[in-house]
Amino acid sequence: MTPLSDRTIATVGSGVMAEAMIAGLLRGELVAPDQIVASHPRAERRDHLRAEYGIRVVGDNQQAIEGADVVLLGIKPQMLGKVGREIGPALRRGQLLLSILAGATTTALVGTLGHDQVIRAMPNTPARLGKGVTVWYATPATTDEQRAQAASLLGALGTQIEVDDEKMVAMATAVSGTGPTYVFLVMEALIDAAVHLGFPRQVAHDLVVETLEG
């Protein structure tokens, strides 16, 4: 049994990061496909998620969150007002709202949604491969059970770290969020240096990647 074993998860705005979370949850057997409901406005996106993961996919956000224990909010930040007005009245006490919106504070989320059981999380890009680091903050209204659910869910993306100061979520973006970019620049420079020494580029690439993985 895990904190998510008998829970239903809804993803609203099922983009790349939400899909990474769906994939990680199923890969780790933390939930079954019939425990996940995803919503997306585009039919082709819905078809992809349905075919790839065997989950239930709908076009209506309110329909997606109905009956869900955890609601993952993965929309574009500029859509918060519109989507918040849509799903806010449908949220009920006991539902956990987990937001991965860049820049959206819990104050803004609670004010827009009218719901105070909220967790704000900031995954970084390697999370798409299950190798990320996610820093997250929970509002005081969340329960221990809900925080355990969030830890399990975010763990599907890699390492998860809970903080007790929300400012650290934004601060983490400067470290773990942009950090991979600098690592890639170092990798590129090392590969170029190896090629300059006489290695074929593919060999240089493999050499550098294995070195950094080690």
Percent of the chain exceeding pLDDT 70 equals 96
Q: In this predicted structure, what is the pLDDT of residue 16? A: 86
pTM: 0.83
Q: In this predicted structure, what is the pLDDT of residue 166? A: 95
Q: What is the mean pLDDT of residues 16-28?
A: 89
Question: CB-based burial of residue 136 (10 Å sphere; 0-12 exposed, 13-18 middle, 19+ buried)?
Answer: buried
Q: In this predicted structure, what is the pLDDT of residue 177? A: 62
Dihedral of alpha carbons 84, 151, 171, 128, sign: negative
Q: Are 89 and 113 in contact (CB under 8 A)?
A: no
Tens-digit pLDDT profile for residues 36-63: 999 999 999 999 999 999 999 999 999 9
Q: What is the mean pLDDT of residues 93-117?
A: 95
Q: Which of 12-16, 94-98, 162-166 has the lowest mean pLDDT?
A: 12-16
